[in-house]
């Protein structure tokens, strides 16, 4: 509030001047008129001030309506309208005016202006109010030229030609609502409107005249003829006027890049190599804030575009999840030919078109929808939900890579991404995929990052593959280059030198200092970033200063509607802030000219003001749970923890588990004791558990345990503690937690909790080899799950029961449970649970010698695993196919499968499965006569088995080593160790495979008693549930032993032939292992 007496600027809300004590005017809350301090009614609108201003008290962010702004005013008038009115029928005159105003209004609107009023046959248009476009004078001149060209066509059917004359002027005006309580409208008042009207009077038919201010603003894009100084009625001084004739064919470029010659040379070389070669490069431009990374990237994009490259750009945002503005989404949309604000319907149509043209696999549409942030339908959501996080990430990376390669096949491609120091793990992963694509296509990926917080570290570079990554670290500009910039702004060398010294080579600091040269005095600015920013914002009007403060709360990038809502000003424009290079227009909205500008402005806010603005911003983002939670957090609002809970659940539903974990953790750190803290702790524990982070999950569940208010809460937290302890192999702790939880669940007949308790306990007994207890617990889990009608927990319990039977060598019973589990999963859409259990159905069928059915199950599961992107299940299915083929002795077929399984297992770091696959690869190598290679593979498998726990595959790998080791002592040691593991308890498949190896070794050594021992041990182990595979292997061994002793009669030979014939009929090559072993032994001895 400015004092009329001493012109001191007072803060809002004061009633008396802080400098002279005079009474300050009272602004009307409706029209903004400045009334005398004692006035009861407004001099602007006549309404009662007490009534109006009492209603405005609660609007903390409101400012008086209206502002001062540069506006370009266009007046357009028909020539000879009075004469036409005298010769035409009134209806004809009316129709002519309708056509004329339709043309003028549409043209002004198309060029970004607003029609202010129609006066008779004249129209008044505004450019820059209420919305500034940044080049409003140019838009006004372009509109004028088009109107002049279009009006003659309106004369069709008239007795004479038509022409218009136009006057355009620019200047500072007051833009506000004007009128009374009976009628008010938005318009502008000021000299520019008067000058435009007077230029209209001086222009002849078909002529447009503009003021010197318009000429100065547009002569770089418009060609003019000088008219000379004109004396205009009501204007004190003669003014220069100009006549626009046409638009220039090409506008001069912006200021040339200063300095950076060496860096630009490197960048040009990279572009040339990409354009003329078959591959590209990844570029990282790093430097401190304000050093010129964006300007150098802009120059690179300009050079690339002129060289014929396709250019696309994205920004990594620093605050919240502003959907539709993410870097990856923007780039993907651009590669698909979509705009940044493309509607969902248009995006879905583009995806459908790609599928119809066979450019996109059916399943890839799921990933592309995620990349474009389109919600999945109910039908596709279940399929996508069945995938794990790694599978979704892999699928999205594959789709992005394919889009990049496709675009680069058409034309060399430049992808620019700014501010990757703010990138989250998902964005970094996708950028690494793009980087990998540069090695295989004519693509250059260029990114900018601050030195501090740079996330493109060694780990990221390893993700980026073997392509070339070039890093350019920007140093401060040299003093001479900095003076080149200074000469654009000011000729006063002393002041310029001071600015150059204080800027320290940072172009942003220097530019901001120099732009304030007309208002600042020597020594007024400190050297810090904060003082530079505050010096710029302190020179703003109070209105604009409050606006940029509000904008700083929205983040580095925002859009105009958001800022308008925060200010409670639907017509707010940012022309002053843009003109002062504090904000800059972007394709999608607005951005601070530099991050340091935003940080400096935000840092200048008091804590109370920050809380006030963040609270208002939270209301704006009510439909964005993440942004709402972050704003409520910074507002210190008690609702923030609950908001974080909702945001975390939303992110989890979108499969963004890292973000969900971070949000839940932040919410928990703010939560009060009690229910709020409990629910957030449980959510965080569940999220960490799903991510396989047992230690972190346990911490969260322990917090929930401390917050539990009743038995139900305590039971839920204890179950979580047990599950996380199981993940970290703290079996005793897990069992203790379950022992405490079970009575709490039983007392409330909580079958849902009981199902989970018994399921976890069953798995703990499985890990300990306690088969009876394992089976019992899973039976109880199934009973409880049926009691609560939970298909998911029934399926898990059935799977657990099947595992217990499998471990106990009861493969037929295990198969029945696996079949029931898979049937239940298919009935209820539990695809993620069903896939590995279908693979296990195949495993069980191996031992009934139903090899074809086993392979069918495994291949079906593999196809589904690939479809949902579950790479672990895919690996398990492929390995199992190889396992089945090896069991059948079909080594040539297995040889085509196992290497793929081994590669996948290593990629996924599935060490336990790697050990099994190595055993089967060793058996295949033996069949190929590569005994040395087989021995090396088996030894590697043994090492991994010992590392991961020998109960899973230890006896198998040791039995194989007993076949392959060269020294008898090493063979005997392996046999003894294997039998010790079997006695202590191992998974059921170990008994089959170890005894099979033991029988073949004894046959080779002609140790007939040892053959019988292994065969009898296998038959005894299978006595309770005999299986064809075990029976055939044992019978063949025993009958060959009898033949070796010379005891075999016709009955024995007949029985042996029957076994061999039955095996041959189902393509089981039962002699294949023995034959391979004999060939290898003969070759070694020879």
Q: Which residue has the higher pLDDT, 190 or 507?
A: 190
Considering the domain boundaries, does residue 424 fall inside one? yes
Strand partners, 314: 417
468 pLDDT tier (thresholds 50, 70, 90)? confident
| Predicted confidence (pLDDT) per residue in 127-174, tens digit | 977 775 667 888 899 999 999 999 998 887 777 788 999 999 988 787
Quote the pLDDT of residue 553. Answer: 93
Is there a single domain that holds both residue 514 and residue 563? yes
997 pLDDT tier (thresholds 50, 70, 90)? very high
pTM for the full predicted model: 0.55
Is there a single domain that holds both residue 216 and residue 331? no
Is there a single domain that holds both residue 89 and residue 205? yes
Considering the domain boundaries, does residue 689 fall inside one? no
Is there a single domain that holds both residue 60 and residue 75? no
In 160-261, which ranges are E strands? 164-179, 184-189, 208-211, 222-230, 239-247
Phi, psi of 265 (to 5 degrees): -65, -40
Considering the domain boundaries, does residue 866 fall inside one? no
The set of residues, in sequence order, having a beta carbon less than 8 Å from that of 412 and lying 6+ positions away, is: 274, 275, 280, 307, 308, 309, 310, 442, 443, 444
Range of weakest confidence among 470-474, 554-558, 994-998: 470-474
Q: How far apart are CA 860 and CA 862, in angstroms?
A: 5
Q: How far apart are CA 133 and CA 127, in angstroms?
A: 8
Is there a single domain that holds both residue 442 and residue 486? no
Q: How far apart are CA 999 and CA 1037, in angstroms?
A: 6
- Classify strands 239-247 and 208-211 as parallel, antiparallel or unpaired: antiparallel
pLDDT at 101 over 60: yes
pLDDT at 1051 over 60: yes
Is there a single domain that holds both residue 1001 and residue 1035? yes
Q: Which of 247, 275, 301 is the last residue of a domain?
A: 247
Q: How far apart are CA 982 and CA 165, in angstroms?
A: 103
The CATH number given to whatever domain includes residue 460 is 3.40.50.300
Is there a single domain that holds both residue 110 and residue 240? yes
Considering the domain boundaries, does residue 846 fall inside one? no
Contact 932, 967 (CB under 8 A): no
Question: Distance between alpha carbon 759 and the CA centroid of its chain, in Å?
Answer: 35
Is there a single domain that holds both residue 103 and residue 203? yes
Identify the DSSP state of 23: B
Q: Which residue has the higher pLDDT, 23 or 940?
A: 940
Quote the pLDDT of residue 323. Answer: 36
pLDDT at 856 over 90: yes
Quote the pLDDT of residue 953. Answer: 87
Range of weakest confidence among 284-293, 517-526, 681-690, 860-869: 517-526
Considering the domain boundaries, does residue 670 fall inside one? no
- Range ranked top by mean pLDDT from 417-421, 705-709, 736-740, 802-806: 736-740
Considering the domain boundaries, does residue 650 fall inside one? no
- Lookup: tokens for 232: 């205009």
What's the structural domain count of the chain? 5
Is there a single domain that holds both residue 456 and residue 345? yes
Phi, psi of 730 (to 5 degrees): -95, 75
pLDDT at 48 over 70: no
Q: How far apart are CA 304 and CA 272, in angstroms?
A: 9
Q: How far apart are CA 250 and CA 235, in angstroms?
A: 35
Contact 330, 427 (CB under 8 A): no
Quote the pLDDT of residue 536. Answer: 64
Contact 449, 286 (CB under 8 A): yes
The CATH number given to whatever domain includes residue 76 is 3.30.70.1230
| Predicted confidence (pLDDT) per residue in 331-354, tens digit | 888 888 887 666 777 777 877 777
- Give the Cβ contact number of residue 529 at 10 Å: 21
Is there a single domain that holds both residue 530 and residue 566? yes
Contact 143, 136 (CB under 8 A): no
Is there a single domain that holds both residue 212 and residue 294? no
Give me the mean pLDDT over the 266-292 stretch.
86
Domain that holds residue 423: 261-473
Return the CA Rg of the chain: 40
Quote the pLDDT of residue 320. Answer: 38
| Predicted confidence (pLDDT) per residue in 896-954, tens digit | 999 999 998 888 777 878 999 999 999 999 999 898 999 999 999 999 988 877 877 89
Q: Is the peptide bond before 130 cis (omega within 30 degrees of 0)?
A: yes
The set of residues, in sequence order, having a beta carbon less than 8 Å from that of 998 and lying 6+ positions away, is: 959, 962, 975, 1010, 1013, 1014
Is there a single domain that holds both residue 43 and residue 86? no
Q: How far apart are CA 438 and CA 415, in angstroms?
A: 10
Q: Which of 181, 213, 247 is the last residue of a domain?
A: 247
How far apart, in Å, do the first and last CA atoms of the chain sit?
Answer: 106
User: To the nearest whole percent, how much of the chain has pLDDT over 90?
Assistant: 41
Contact 291, 507 (CB under 8 A): yes
Contact 126, 94 (CB under 8 A): no
Give me the mean pLDDT over the 1023-1033 stretch.
92
pLDDT at 1007 over 90: yes
Considering the domain boundaries, does residue 741 fall inside one? no
- Lookup: tokens for 1027: 């299986």
pLDDT at 504 over 70: no
49 pLDDT tier (thresholds 50, 70, 90)? low
pLDDT at 483 over 70: no
Q: How far apart are CA 79 and CA 57, in angstroms?
A: 51
Give me the mean pLDDT over the 305-328 stretch.
70
pLDDT at 14 over 80: no
Contact 987, 952 (CB under 8 A): yes
Q: Which of 247, 272, 292 is the last residue of a domain?
A: 247
Helices then strands, counting H and E runs in the chain, come out as 49, 18
């Amino acid at each position: 509030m400015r004092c009329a007496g001493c012109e001191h600027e007072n803060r809002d809300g004061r009633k008396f001047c802080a400098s002279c004590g005079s009474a300050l005017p009272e602004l009307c809350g409706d029209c903004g008129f400045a009334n005398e301090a004692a006035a009861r009614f407004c001099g602007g609108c006549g309404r009662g001030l007490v009534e109006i201003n009492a209603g405005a008290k609660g609007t903390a962010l409101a400012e008086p309506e209206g502002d001062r702004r540069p506006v370009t005013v266009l007046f357009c008038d028909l020539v000879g309208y009075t004469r036409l009115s005298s010769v035409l029928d009134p209806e004809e005159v009316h129709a002519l005016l309708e056509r004329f105003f339709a043309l003028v209004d549409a043209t002004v609107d198309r060029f970004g202006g607003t029609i202010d009023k129609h006066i008779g046959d004249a129209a008044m248009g505004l450019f820059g109010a209420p919305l500034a476009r940044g080049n409003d004078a140019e838009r006004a001149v372009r509109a004028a030229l088009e109107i002049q060209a279009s009006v003659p066509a309106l004369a069709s059917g008239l007795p004479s030609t038509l022409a218009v004359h136009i006057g355009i002027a620019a200047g500072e005006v007051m833009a506000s609502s004007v009128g009374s309580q009976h009628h008010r409208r938005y318009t502008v008042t000021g000299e520019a409107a008067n000058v435009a009207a007077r230029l209209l009077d001086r222009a002849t038919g078909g002529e447009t005249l503009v003021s010197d201010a318009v000429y100065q603003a547009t002569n770089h894009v418009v060609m003019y003829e000088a008219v000379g100084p004109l004396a205009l009625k009501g204007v004190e001084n003669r003014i220069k006027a100009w006549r626009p004739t046409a638009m220039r064919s090409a506008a001069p470029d912006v200021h040339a890049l200063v300095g950076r010659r060496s860096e630009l040379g490197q960048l040009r070389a990279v572009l040339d190599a990409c354009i003329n070669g078959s591959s590209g490069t990844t570029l990282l431009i790093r430097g401190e804030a304000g050093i010129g990374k964006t300007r150098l990237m802009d120059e690179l994009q300009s050079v690339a575009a002129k060289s014929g490259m396709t250019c696309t750009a994205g920004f990594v945002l620093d605050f919240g999840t502003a959907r539709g503005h993410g870097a990856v989404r923007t780039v993907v949309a651009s590669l698909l030919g979509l705009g940044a604000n493309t509607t969902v319907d248009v995006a879905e149509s583009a995806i459908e078109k790609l599928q119809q043209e066979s450019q996109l696999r059916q399943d890839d549409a799921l990933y592309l929808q995620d990349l474009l942030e389109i919600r999945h339908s109910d039908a596709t959501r279940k399929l996508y939900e069945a995938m794990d996080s790694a599978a979704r990430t892999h699928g999205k990376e594959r789709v992005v890579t394919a889009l990049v390669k496709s675009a680069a096949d058409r034309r060399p491609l430049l992808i620019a991404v700014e501010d990757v120091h703010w990138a989250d793990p998902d964005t970094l992963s996708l950028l690494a995929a793009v980087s990998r694509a540069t090695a295989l296509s004519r693509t250059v990926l260029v990114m900018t990052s601050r030195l501090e917080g740079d996330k493109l570290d060694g780990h990221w570079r390893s993700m980026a593959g073997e392509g070339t990554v070039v890093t350019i670290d920007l140093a401060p500009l040299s003093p001479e280059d900095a003076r080149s910039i200074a000469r654009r702004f000011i000729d006063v060398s002393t002041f310029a030198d001071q600015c150059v010294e204080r800027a320290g080579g940072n172009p942003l600091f220097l530019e901001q200092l120099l732009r304030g040269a007309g208002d600042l005095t020597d020594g007024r600015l400190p050297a810090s970033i904060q003082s530079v920013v505050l010096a710029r914002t302190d020179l703003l009007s109070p209105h604009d200063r409050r606006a940029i403060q509000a904008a700083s709360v929205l983040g580095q990038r925002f859009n105009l509607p958001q800022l308008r809502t925060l200010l409670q000003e639907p017509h707010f424009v940012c022309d002053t802030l843009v003109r002062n290079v504090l904000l800059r227009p972007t394709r999608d909205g607005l951005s601070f000219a530099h991050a340091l500008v935003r940080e400096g402005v935000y840092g200048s806010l008091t804590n109370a003001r920050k809380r006030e603005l963040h609270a208002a911003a939270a209301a704006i983002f009510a439909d964005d749970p993440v942004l709402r939670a972050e704003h409520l957090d910074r507002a210190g609002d008690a609702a923030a923890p609950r908001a974080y809970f909702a945001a975390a659940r939303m992110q989890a539903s979108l499969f963004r588990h890292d973000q969900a974990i971070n949000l839940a953790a932040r919410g928990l750190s703010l939560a009060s004791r009690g229910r709020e803290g409990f629910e957030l702790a449980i959510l965080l524990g569940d999220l960490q558990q799903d991510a396989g982070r047992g230690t972190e999950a346990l911490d969260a569940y322990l917090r929930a345990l401390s917050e539990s208010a009743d038995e139900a809460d305590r039971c839920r937290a204890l179950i979580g503690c047990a599950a996380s302890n199981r993940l970290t192999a703290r079996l005793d702790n897990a069992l203790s937690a379950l022992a405490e939880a079970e009575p709490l669940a039983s007392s409330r007949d909580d079958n849902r909790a009981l199902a989970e308790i018994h399921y976890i306990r069953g798995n703990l007994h499985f890990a300990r080899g306690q088969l009876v207890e394992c089976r019992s617990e899973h039976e109880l889990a199934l009973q409880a799950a049926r009691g609560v009608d939970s298909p998911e927990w029934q399926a898990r319990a059935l799977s657990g029961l099947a595992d217990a039977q499998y471990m106990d060598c009861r493969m037929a019973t295990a198969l029945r449970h696996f079949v029931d589990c898979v049937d239940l999963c298919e009935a209820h859409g539990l695809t993620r649970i069903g896939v590995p259990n279908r693979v296990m159905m195949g495993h069980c069928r191996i031992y009934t010698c139903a090899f074809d059915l086993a392979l069918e199950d495994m291949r079906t599961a593999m196809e589904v695993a690939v479809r949902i992107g579950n790479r672990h299940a895919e690996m398990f299915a492929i390995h199992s196919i190889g396992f089945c083929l090896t069991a059948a002795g079909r080594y040539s077929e297995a040889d085509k499968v196992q290497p793929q399984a081994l590669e996948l297992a290593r990629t996924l770091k599935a060490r336990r499965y790697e050990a099994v696959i190595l055993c089967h690869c060793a058996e295949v190598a033996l069949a190929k006569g590569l005994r040395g290679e087989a021995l090396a593979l088996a030894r590697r498998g043994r090492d991994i088995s010992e590392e991961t726990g020998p109960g899973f595959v230890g006896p198998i790998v040791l039995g194989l080593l007993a076949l392959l080791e060269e020294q008898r002592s090493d063979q005997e040691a392996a046999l003894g160790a294997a039998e010790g593991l079997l006695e202590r308890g191992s998974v059921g498949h170990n008994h089959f495979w170890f005894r099979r190896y033991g029988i073949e070794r004894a046959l080779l050594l002609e140790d007939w008693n040892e053959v019988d021992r292994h065969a009898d041990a296998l038959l005894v182990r299978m006595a309770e549930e005999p299986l064809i595979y075990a029976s055939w292997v044992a019978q063949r061994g025993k009958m060959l032993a009898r033949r070796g002793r010379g005891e075999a009669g016709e009955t024995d030979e007949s029985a042996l032939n029957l076994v061999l014939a039955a095996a041959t009929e189902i393509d089981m090559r039962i002699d294949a292992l023995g034959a391979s072993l004999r060939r290898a032994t003969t070759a070694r001895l020879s």
